[in-house]
Amino acid sequence: MVIGRSASEAEIEFTLAYCFSCEPEPDTLWPMRTVEVSLGTRSYTIHIGSGLLTKLGDHCRRLKLGERCAIITDSNVGPRYADAAVRALKMAGFVPSVVTVTAGEGAKSLKVLGECYDQLAMKRLERRSFVVALGGGCVGDLAGFVAATYLRGISYVQVATTLLAQVDSSVGGKVGINLKSGKNLVGSFHQPRAVLCDLDTLSTLPEREFRAGMAEVVKYGVIRDPELFRRLERELDKIMKRDVNTLSNVVARCCTLKSEIVGADEYETTGVRAILNFGHTVGHGIEALSGYNEFIHGEAVSLGTVAAARLSSRLMSLPDKEADRIRDLLQRIGLPTAIKFTPKKREALFDAMRLDKKVSGGELKFVLAKSLGDVVPGQRVPDADINAVLNLIAE
Amino acid sequence: MVIGRSASEAEIEFTLAYCFSCEPEPDTLWPMRTVEVSLGTRSYTIHIGSGLLTKLGDHCRRLKLGERCAIITDSNVGPRYADAAVRALKMAGFVPSVVTVTAGEGAKSLKVLGECYDQLAMKRLERRSFVVALGGGCVGDLAGFVAATYLRGISYVQVATTLLAQVDSSVGGKVGINLKSGKNLVGSFHQPRAVLCDLDTLSTLPEREFRAGMAEVVKYGVIRDPELFRRLERELDKIMKRDVNTLSNVVARCCTLKSEIVGADEYETTGVRAILNFGHTVGHGIEALSGYNEFIHGEAVSLGTVAAARLSSRLMSLPDKEADRIRDLLQRIGLPTAIKFTPKKREALFDAMRLDKKVSGGELKFVLAKSLGDVVPGQRVPDADINAVLNLIAE
């Protein structure tokens, strides 16, 4: 798929290419969709499809990467897929080693970062060596940051095994770790050399994780693509059953949207990229409030999305019934759209929001929607309006 | 000074500007030399002169940096100069805090890095905030890496207080920390927004540190500028007495040379930058061998420079008497040019050289000189030749 084409054009291209490739040559990797992320010398391709993990070595060979590599994975994903990754890399002539970190947000710590560095140094990875990030968002963020900083930056290839990683964190090169005082406070912009979204790996993804990933999918519809939003409403059953064909369309469309946004604002300096934070101002607050336990990221974003939609109706031109549609879709997915507030919890939420790293000059700013598919970043919102909207998302 | 002009042209410009500025306007910062480092949007100016520390705030204001900042310094430099830096920043309307780390190579560790991050988060530094690196090479490398990665990168200004930092590590944006398994194994390329080389701070620099800095000064003559080399031979007495006028010429010339090299190879990808490693292959090995204690960086580089010069005579066209001149100049500076080897120590040196991060494909490569001022990187050298040359630098 080429950036900027509509999903339906891409579908036609895909169908044709697939039909004419019934007897694929050994060197082709069908059935697969691709999204190009255009960032000059840092451009790369996202590959989306079935059975991609077995082709990992071939993809790395095409990138002319060095022989030695380290697969960084976690204790959930590693036992399932690390062997396949090692096999694929060895078949292609690489010398992989595996670094397994404990699954969860805890992996994104300075301590685990140091352990990864030590492993890479012990295995004598050098400048042409590379890292394979095998897992979801946390592994991708950690492994990407290891690659960004080991020997002042080596290559990495991302194999995204969660829906969230496939549609969101695999695109755009934001990598990093957490500090005790906040999430993602340390990191870099470091683009992968390639991303593989193997849809087969979603089959083992826990239901809760899959739903959480869908919160970001819905977000893309809200911020940029009403047609995608309608498709989600229409094809939700197939999506939730993880139908590979439907999912490949949806994942490719999300990657295309995000790559367009990132292409316009790689280093988050022009403000364009800020629209990706729709639903994230309240979302991050709720996540921090619950100690990152009660609600996982996508669930907090779901709540934040409802809040941002309600604020958009209150302060911008978004019709109430469109805000209802957003909430209804999230509800159908099985995501939380209401939360219990005590007065103390509400105060803590305000504090957490003000601590977020996106706050500048101490001011809380929101991305708000003028209509479905059209949002504006950097909107100041008075505390009174936030309070009123929190009432609307209170159970 | 403008890149590419000869030192003498720059001298004339400097003298004229200084003469015509006997009554400086409040906004001018004379007497001072400047070197522009041209790296597109990452370009910056190096200011070289007396009394620059008191102008730190003015320089930061011109860069339109955010209000809050953190001065990262060490236990040697902080007690001497942190107060002046704080005063200068406050006068210009900034809100500085001071982070003091223990002096020495130990500061470049993951542990100290984490402590710096925590301080910055506690002081609520945000995206427009900035770091001031106040000190020598270690503080610059650490503070630069903190700035490169805190909130995915904030600005930093370097106040270089050692000769080594002024002529070498302040130019080029290489920042980073050490791992147990090796020096500078973790880092980034992150250019400062400005560099101040306050020559007054050199007056408190211990003699051993000053001499060590001179090893890199000599290197610039050897790799790129026979005229600078001759000037060093001619004016060494004034330089060693730290005469500010002579030093400002020398420091500016070194910064110009390095900025030309870095401008041609910012990310160490084209190979041009590799010539800066003249004398460093054996130098890094000796440093590692002595556990970074017996010889400090510049002393090890001095030994490595003699070795590289001898190898150049043996394998390239460098006349023996030119290699003698290099050794003689280093000797006059008071730097070591010979080392005691036991057979065991010699073996350990080979091992240490092979562990260096610049080794690619397990092969040892040298920068060698065809003549004074003309070197070529990437030269494979047989172990037999290295051994023969080690005999020549053995006491």
DSSP strand E in chain B: where?
A: 32-37, 44-49, 68-74, 95-101, 130-135, 155-160, 174-179, 182-189, 194-198, 365-371, 374-380
Per-residue pLDDT tens digits of chain B, which is 395 residues long: 333 334 343 333 333 333 333 333 343 344 689 999 999 999 999 999 999 999 999 999 999 999 999 999 999 999 999 999 999 999 999 999 999 999 998 999 999 999 999 999 999 999 999 999 999 999 999 999 999 999 999 999 999 999 999 999 889 999 999 998 888 999 999 999 999 999 999 999 999 999 999 999 999 999 999 999 999 999 999 999 999 999 999 999 999 999 999 999 999 888 899 999 999 999 988 988 876 678 999 999 999 999 999 999 999 999 999 999 999 999 999 999 999 888 888 888 888 887 765 655 556 789 999 999 999 999 999 888 988 888 888 88
pTM of the shown model: 0.89
Helices then strands, counting H and E runs in chain A, come out as: 14, 11
- In chain B, DSSP finds a helix count (H) and a strand count (E) of 14, 11
Minimal Cβ distance to B121: which of A110, A150, A182? A182
Minimal Cα–Cα distance from B110 to chain A, Å?
7
Residues A140 and A23 in one domain: yes
Note if A47 is an active site residue.
no
Answer with the one of B186, B205, B224 that is the final residue of a domain.
B205
A187 CB near a chain B CB, below 8 Å? yes
Residue B246 lies in a domain: no
Active site residue A325: no
Is the confidence at residue A154, as pLDDT, over 70?
A: yes
Answer whether A149 sits within 8 Å of B186, measured CB to CB: yes
Asked if residue A338 is part of any domain, the answer here is yes
Residue A134 in any domain: the answer is yes
Name the B residues in 338-357 with CB < 8 Å from any A CB.
Answer: 357
Note whether A246 and A235 are within 8 A (CB).
yes
Mark whether A252 and A167 lie in a shared domain. yes
B153–A contact, CB cutoff 8 A = yes
The answer, yes or no, to whether residue A36 has pLDDT greater than 50, is yes
Strand-pair category, A44-49 with A32-37: antiparallel
B365 min Cα distance to partner chain A (Å): 15
Of the candidates B187, B267, B359, which has its C-beta nearest A149's C-beta? B187
> Which of A376, A393, A34, A1 is closest to A196 using CA atoms?
A34
- A187: nearest CA in chain B? B152
Mutating which of B112, B181, B186, B277 best tests the A interface, going by the most A Cβ atoms within 10 A?
B186
Q: How many CA atoms lie within 13 A of B9 on its CB side?
A: 7
Q: Could you tell me if the ipTM is greater than 0.90?
A: no
| B residues 29-88 closer than 8 Å to A (CB) | none
Residues B289 and B195 in one domain: no
Please tell me the distance from the alpha carbon of residue A72 to that of residue A69, in angstroms, as a whole number.
Answer: 10
Chain B contact probe: residue of A152, A178, A270 with most B CBs at under 10 A: A152
| A293 lies within 8 A of chain B by CB | no
Instruction: Judge: B360–A126 Cβ closer than 8 Å, yes or no.
Output: yes
Q: In this complex, do B186 and A117 lie within 8 Å of one another by their Cβ atoms?
A: yes
User: Would you state the torsion angle of the CA atoms of residues A351, A353, A359, A365, taken in this order, to the nearest 10 degrees?
Assistant: -120
Domain membership flag for residue A60: yes
**Is A186 part of the contact surface with chain B (CB cutoff 8 Å)?**
yes
Residue of chain A whose Cα is closest to the Cα of B182: A121
Partner-chain contact A359 B179, CB within 8 Å? no
pLDDT of residue B341: 85
- A251 lies in the same domain as A366: no
Contacts B361 to A, Cβ<8 Å: 126
End-to-end CA distance of chain A: 42
- List of residues 6+ apart from A384 with CB closer than 8 A: none
Domain that holds residue B311: 260-393
Amino acid at A17: A
Bridge partners (DSSP) listed for residue A182: A179
| A394 vs B84: which has the higher pLDDT | B84
Q: Which residues of B touch A187 (CB under 8 A)?
A: 149, 151-152
* Cβ B195 vs Cβ B47: under 8 Å: yes
Q: Is the pLDDT of residue A358 over 80?
A: no
Q: Does one domain contain both B196 and B301?
A: no
Residue scoring higher pLDDT (A2 or B96): B96
* Inter-chain CB pairs, A–B, below 8 Å: 88
In this structure, the answer to whether residues B32 and B165 fall within a common structural domain is: yes
Interface check for B269 against chain A (CB to CB < 8 A): the answer is: no
Residue A187 to residue B118, Cβ atoms within 8 A: no
Q: Do A360 and B128 touch (CB under 8 A)?
A: yes
pLDDT tens digit sequence for A164-223: 999 998 899 999 999 988 889 999 999 999 999 999 999 999 999 999 999 999 999 999
Compute the mean pLDDT over every residue in chain A, rounded to the nearest whole number: 89
Give the nearest partner residue to B357 out of A149, A151, A176, using CB atoms: A151
Q: What is the pLDDT of residue A360?
A: 58
CB contact under 8 A, B182 and A121: yes
Contact B336, B303 (CB under 8 A): yes
> pLDDT tens for residues B89-101?
999 999 999 999 9
Residue A263 placed within a domain: no
Please report residues of B whose CB lies closer than 8 A to that of A110.
110, 113-114, 117
**B81 and B144 part of one domain:** yes
User: Within this chain, do residues A386 and A350 fall inside the same structural domain, yes or no?
Assistant: yes
- Say if residue A99 is in the same domain as residue A201: yes
Phi first, then psi, for residue B340 (nearest 5°) are -85, 130
Sheet arrangement for strand B95-101: B32-37, B44-49, B194-198, B155-160, B130-135, B68-74, B95-101
| Rounded-to-integer distance, Cα A299 and Cα A330, Å | 10
Cα B237 to the center of its chain, rounded Å = 22
A123 contact B CB<8A:
no
Test the B interface: residue of A127, A186, A268 with most B CBs within 10 Å: A186
Q: Which of A226, A258, A290 delimits the end of a domain? A: A258
A242 and A298, same structural domain?
Answer: no
Angle value at C-alpha B273, between B270 and B276, nearest 5 degrees: 155
CA dist B15 and B7 (Å) reads 12
pLDDT in tens, A60-88: 999 999 999 999 999 999 999 999 999 99
Whether residues A149 and B114 touch (CB distance < 8 A) is answered with no
Higher pLDDT, residue B17 or A119:
A119
DSSP A66: -
Is position A264 within any domain? Answer: no
Task: Give the pLDDT score at A169.
Answer: 84
Query: Which candidate in B109, B129, B152, B354 is best for mutational testing of the A interface (most A CBs within 10 A)?
Result: B152
Give catalytic status of residue A208 as yes or no.
no
> Which pLDDT value is given to residue B142?
98
In a domain, A277, yes or no: yes
State the smallest CA–CA distance between residue B164 and chain A in angstroms: 21
CA distance A70 to A83: 13
| pLDDT for the residue numbered B8 | 41
Using DSSP, state whether B380 is helix, strand or coil: strand
Report the pLDDT averaged over residues A357-369: 74
Residue A10: which of A275, A162, A281, A225 has the closest Cα? A225
Under an 8 A CB cutoff, do B117 and A186 touch?
Answer: yes
**Active-site residue A370, yes or no?**
no
Q: What is the pLDDT of residues B236-276, one digit of tens each?
A: 999 999 999 999 999 999 999 999 999 999 998 888 999 99
From edge to edge, which strands make up the β-sheet containing A44-49?
A32-37, A44-49, A194-198, A155-160, A130-135, A68-74, A95-101
Do B33 and B136 belong to one domain? yes
CATH number at residue A346: 1.20.1090.10
Assigned domain for B131 exists? yes
- Provide the terminal-to-terminal Cα distance of chain B, rounded to the nearest Å: 42
In the beta sheet, which residues pair with residue A374? A371
- Interchain CB distance below 8 Å, A150 and B186: yes
Kindly state whether residues B41 and B152 are assigned to the same domain: yes
Tally of structural domains, chain A? 2
CATH number at residue B45: 3.40.50.1970
Q: Which residues contact B170 (CB under 8 A, 6 or more apart)?
A: B46, B140, B158, B160, B192, B195, B197, B255
Closest residue in chain A to residue B123, using alpha carbons only: A181
The HSE-up count of residue A263 (CA atoms within 13 Å, CB side) is: 17
Structure-block tokens of residue A109: 């710590």
pLDDT of residue A391: 87
| Nearest-CB residue to B188 (from A113, A152, A176) | A152
What are the CA-CA distances from residue A26 to residues A23, A29, A194, B15 (Å)? 9, 8, 20, 71
C-beta atoms of B122 and A181 within 8 A: yes
Residue B191: CB partners within 8 Å, gap ≥ 6? B37, B39, B42, B44, B172, B173
Last residue of a domain, one of A258, A292, A314: A258
Query: Which residues are registered as beta bridge partners of A44?
Result: A37
| Catalytically annotated residues of B | 152, 174, 216, 258, 268, 273, 277, 280, 284, 297
